[in-house]
Structure 1
Amino acid sequence: MLLRRCILLAALIYLDLVSAATIQKRGSLIPVPTPATPRTWKDRVRAVFFGRSEQPLQKKKEQTNRRHNPLSHYVHDIVLRFNISGPSEAAAMSDAINTLYLDVWSATSSHVDIRMPRGTVPLLLDVLPESMRNAHAPLVQSLADAALETYPGGVESPLPHAPQAMLQPTTGERSDILFFQDYQPLNVIVAWMKLLESLFPSHVELLTIGQSFEGRKIHALKVGREKSSGKKKKAIVITGAAHAREWISVSTVCYLAYAMITGFSRDDKGIDTMVKEFDWIFLPTLNVDGYVYTWEQDRLWRKNRQPTSLAFCKGIDLDRAYNYHFDAPSVSSYNPCSDMFPGGYPFQAQESREFANWADSLIKNGTKIVSLLDMHSYSQEILYPYSYSCEAHPPDLENLEELAMGLAKAIRIQSGEHYEVTSACEGTGFAGLPGTTGGGSMLDYFYAKMKVHYPFQIKLRDTGSHGFLLPKENIVPTGAEMFNLLKYLSQFLLDDGSPTAVIKPSDEL
């Protein structure tokens, strides 16, 4: 195996030296990706053995003076979908991925989506069985181009001169709110959340649920009206960006918060009931450090930014770090350089620990969390427990399936989009790869340990055409279909789980 990797390393370094590519300048969205400064041999070794390089070693000193190009990792990259027929091909693909340390975007029993440098494609095909060498098709031909399209006017998009402009339509249409015309960086999101609290103090409160490893505050918006009786209300928690590169999850949580905040007391009895009967906790960016890193250093970074046992491989997967059926060190993801690394022990990931502690404190203070919606991308799925095993079944499986099917129907009514309903173990992610499990998930932990009756992980748009690089034009329609989902969820819970009336399509913002 070591000799094989050395041969692959030599081949990849040769291909890297002889290849040169540039990207045509397109408008003035962000600094245009240009060929990065030639990497040292240490950088190449690290990139081949442990996936993409965290950043070129020779650029360390330069980072104090200027921002690193967040697309420079992907100038030569492509995303391919490989079809899989049977366990033997799945095992062969898993072995190839572990050998070449490839970036898996999605894996099911029928296909695997993989990001890789173009020069690596022949090497991958060489180690796959002959039956798989022609069973692939490109999803994203030019990764840097696709990533470029997800950025707004600059790597950091400042607030307008008047902050209220972020809440005003640009063309007179409610669907044309400036904030949702682009993906937004963390500093803009936090300022926007503070603005909402100041404009709607009657039913909005800015919360700090914890602190990230790098010292950033993890903010959430609480939307709700106090009951005249003083009785505590049940809470529904909605999270985004457990995985940093899934930007659509951030924008969607922001959209849901804004739609509910501005819809209250605006002649919409449905929204009024939602705000009066529940406390809604909207947490757009759980992985704040990783999210900032996707804007400043690496657009497709997934984990948090916490050091591991290997100094050159930072980060823990926040959705594999919880203390419920935590992955054992025997699984292939137990490698600090893996994008699925769960940490050395449960709750080593600070952000996961802070979130769990906050939720535990909320419950101990008398607030019951009745539902958790954990937003992710991509694949258009609604997933219910369990994640850790396909052999285990939740005791109230029928209720979970009934609600999930209703949520999917609410989406279809709104937009016509189809969302698959299945267990998290069987859903899109890494379930199709032997040697990986879904242990330590947020979904399972909140269901089994926090006793949240209706937790779901929702994989947002799309089904693979754009993957994690969903064009910004999808922000509003994705948010609208999810808001119709919230209306159905609220009515279902108010009816104590009994069948509810069909939810009509929501108005766009």
Structure 2
Amino acid sequence: MHSIFFLSFLSFLCLACARASRIPGLPPVQSLKEYEDQVVIRFNISDAKDAAALRTVVDRMLLDVWDFTESRVDIRIPSRRIRFLTRALPSSLLDNHSILVPDLARVAAATYPSSRPSLGQNPHQHFHQGTTPASQDPIKYDIADVYFHDYQPYSVIVAWMRLVDSMFRGRGLIQMISIGKSYEGRDIPALRVGIRPDHVTSGHRREIILVTGGFHAREWISTSSVNYVAWSFIQSMDEDPVVKKILERFDFVFVPLLNPDGYDYTWEVDRLWRKSRQRTKMSYCPGLDLDHSFSYQWDSEGRQHEPCSGSYGGEEPLQAVEASQLVNWARNETENGFKFAGYLDLHSYSQQVLVPYSFSCQVQPPNIENLQEVAMNLAKHLRLSNGESYTVASACGGSGSESIGPFVEARGGSAIDYFYHELKTRYSYQIKLRDTGSYGFLLPSDNIVPAGEEIFQAMKYLGDFLLGNNGHEWLQESDGDEQEPPTKDDELPITELRKRQPENMSGDEHT
């Protein structure tokens, strides 16, 4: 079986690369020339006054905010504009900044595929900075290493998912699906992975754990990580009893590339393109930020007015075609009797597990303590894989009125808020993957496998946690029949949740 798959895999790889619209390994020259004049600067912020000053400059100069936490903001800027930036910022910010990426063109070029590994090479031998190779157990060469050795263009990703579908479709429920079409007409592919136990009837209502990536085109590590986790669950179903139990109970739906148009554009034209490629009211500023396009608390601050902004979510909720397609697919699943038990939306970078709500730091979900506890265990299992630390924070960008997030980027309309509030997905998170700033969105490809391993371990924890019904506060078993969730929009009070939860809710036993 493995030898047949191996030959098929090599054949697929050659055909996919040959059919790609451009030669893999050859980055778009024009955009790299533009990057030669650009740097990434980190500003350390200590108070709301500095944050407000930086927000004003970001809005006025339409700067590209790479990332922000409660204490700092990373910004990409052409070197020639630094002089104007320094004039507009207070001295407190100028005295607390550093250059993260001084040679953006070189770092961007290095993310494109350069060479394929020979059959004797093992990409797992590459380790992320801070990980000790000597502490790692030897890993046998796996045929999928050929695929995960590099970031892959859209055409290769689709071909690989089709191959997985053709090789494993007979195994319970493993199939490639499309959740819709992008603005430019590309399929938004997904892999649906599950097991149908013999003793369970085909009409039994199942639950879904959704994993998405590629909301923002330049975040290649999020796309590769979703596919790596899908592959890991498929490969483990016969060997890992925990994985088998999880897949017998849940359907995992892996959507690696919600923004295929923008992703393809990063390969063909501009490596650091963020948004979709949908037309806006300003023809010279195309694209919508998919993660500010969902209908729950859309444009909560009234800042969705600038199409040239990197966080522009459109003129109305769900105007972004791809966000609308995801919502339509999800609602169709619920109408067909499925429930969403969990949702992980993968992004980069900063190594954080983010908890709803994204639209406001002043409003918290009713089950915030439960969300935070599970988030801390997700961070724990992310760390246990390779030793990389992940922190837990609010998706709004902080925990109080003076947090940085509200000052830097428009909020509202996020996917995790929508799935949590509208589709009652009680455990909904955004995970920002590697790294913490050395490379940012231009993470080297030797991080693909270890980053994927980290997410796989976190996903195993989440699935095992949900198997204990701790993730289904509304669900009670009675003679094998499931009761319907409450009809009220508000979640159950935390005090009631605590009564229903076992003492070992922390999940430490799920390793």
Q: What is the TM-score normalised by the length of structure 2?
A: 0.80
CA–CA separation in structure 2 for the residues paired with 1:379 and 1:90: 19
Distance 1:133 1:351, change over 3 A: same
Aligned to 2:49: 88
Distance 1:83 1:502, change over 3 A: same
Q: Which of 174, 184, 187 is matched with 1:217 structurally? A: 187
Aligned to 2:384: 413
1:437 Cα offset (Å): 3.8
CA–CA separation in structure 1 for the residues paired with 2:207 and 2:444: 35
Alpha carbons 1:316, 1:343 under 8 Å: kept: yes
Aligned to 2:325: 354
Q: Aligned AA for 2:114?
A: G
CA–CA separation in structure 2 for the residues paired with 1:141 and 1:123: 18
1:172 Cα offset (Å): 5.1
1:433 Cα offset (Å): 5.0
Q: Which of 155, 166, 177 is matched with 1:207 structurally? A: 177
Aligned to 1:465: 438
Match of 1:71, SS state, is helix
Task: Output one character per residue of 1:133-173: Cα deviation in whole Å (capped at 9) or x when no partner.
Answer: 2321111011110111110038xx9x99xxx99x9999952
Q: Higher mean Cα deviation, 225-234 or 473-482?
A: 225-234
1:99 Cα offset (Å): 2.1
Aligned to 2:15: none
Aligned to 1:339: 310
Alpha carbons 1:240, 1:374 under 8 Å: kept: yes
CA–CA separation in structure 1 for the residues paired with 2:301 and 2:365: 25
1:377-396 map, 5 Å? 377-396=348-367
Aligned to 2:145: 177
Alpha carbons 2:213, 2:346 under 8 Å: kept: yes
CA–CA separation in structure 1 for the residues paired with 2:237 and 2:27: 42
Alpha carbons 2:300, 2:411 under 8 Å: kept: no
Task: Output one character per residue of 1:369-404: Cα deviation in whole Å (capped at 9) or x when no partner.
Answer: 110100000011111111111111111112111211
Q: Find out whether 1:111 has 2:78 as its counterpart.
A: no
Q: Aligned AA for 1:468?
A: F
1:29 Cα offset (Å): 7.7
Aligned to 2:452: 479
Match of 1:147, SS state, is helix
Alpha carbons 1:33, 1:72 under 8 Å: kept: no
Task: Output one character per residue of 1:308-366: Cα deviation in whole Å (capped at 9) or x when no partner.
Answer: 010100000000001111105732x5200000001000000000000001000001100
Aligned to 2:420: 447
Distance 1:225 1:83, change over 3 A: same
Distance 1:374 1:169, change over 3 A: closer
Task: Output one character per residue of 1:255-303: Cα deviation in whole Å (capped at 9) or x when no partner.
Answer: 00001111121x2212211221210000000001000001001101111
Distance 1:168 1:390, change over 3 A: closer
Alpha carbons 2:153, 2:267 under 8 Å: kept: yes
1:107 Cα offset (Å): 2.3
Distance 1:438 1:180, change over 3 A: same
Alpha carbons 1:206, 1:220 under 8 Å: kept: yes
Match of 1:334, SS state, is coil
CA–CA separation in structure 1 for the residues paired with 2:58 and 2:421: 32
Aligned to 1:138: 99
Q: Find out whether 1:72 has 2:33 as its counterpart.
A: yes
Match of 1:376, SS state, is strand
Aligned to 2:297: 325
Alpha carbons 1:431, 1:438 under 8 Å: kept: no
CA–CA separation in structure 1 for the residues paired with 2:272 and 2:396: 24
Q: Aligned AA for 2:182?
A: S
Alpha carbons 1:252, 1:478 under 8 Å: kept: yes
Q: Which of 177, 198, 211 is matched with 2:166 structurally? A: 198
Task: Output one character per residue of 1:60-86: Cα deviation in whole Å (capped at 9) or x when no partner.
Answer: xxxxxxxxx442331211101011221
Q: Higher mean Cα deviation, 185-194 or 105-114?
A: 105-114
Aligned to 1:300: 272
Match of 2:58, SS state, is helix
Aligned to 1:425: 396
Aligned to 1:126: 87
Match of 1:205, SS state, is strand
1:438 Cα offset (Å): 2.0
Aligned to 1:237: 210
1:130 Cα offset (Å): 2.2
Alpha carbons 1:484, 1:503 under 8 Å: kept: no
Aligned to 2:464: 491
Match of 2:407, SS state, is coil
1:412 Cα offset (Å): 1.9
Identity percentage over the alignment? 44
1:426 Cα offset (Å): 2.8
CA–CA separation in structure 1 for the residues paired with 2:398 and 2:152: 29
Distance 1:143 1:276, change over 3 A: same
Q: What is the TM-score normalised by the length of structure 1?
A: 0.80
CA–CA separation in structure 2 for the residues paired with 1:385 and 1:432: 13
CA–CA separation in structure 1 for the residues paired with 2:369 and 2:71: 26
Alpha carbons 1:70, 1:294 under 8 Å: kept: no
Q: Higher mean Cα deviation, 116-125 or 309-318?
A: 116-125
1:143-292 map, 5 Å? 143-153=104-114, 173-174=141-142, 177-201=145-169, 202=171, 203-227=173-197, 228-230=200-202, 231-265=204-238, 267-292=239-264
1:427 Cα offset (Å): 5.1
Please list every run of 5 or more consecutive structure 1 residues that lacks an aligned counterpart in the other structure.
1-27, 35-68, 505-509
RMSD: 2.6
Please list every run of 5 or more consecutive structure 2 residues that lacks an aligned counterpart in the other structure.
1-22, 126-138, 471-501
- What is the aligned residue count? 433
Distance 1:143 1:450, change over 3 A: same
Alpha carbons 2:58, 2:408 under 8 Å: kept: no
Distance 1:135 1:433, change over 3 A: farther
Q: Which of 368, 375, 379 is matched with 2:339 structurally? A: 368
Alpha carbons 1:213, 1:351 under 8 Å: kept: yes
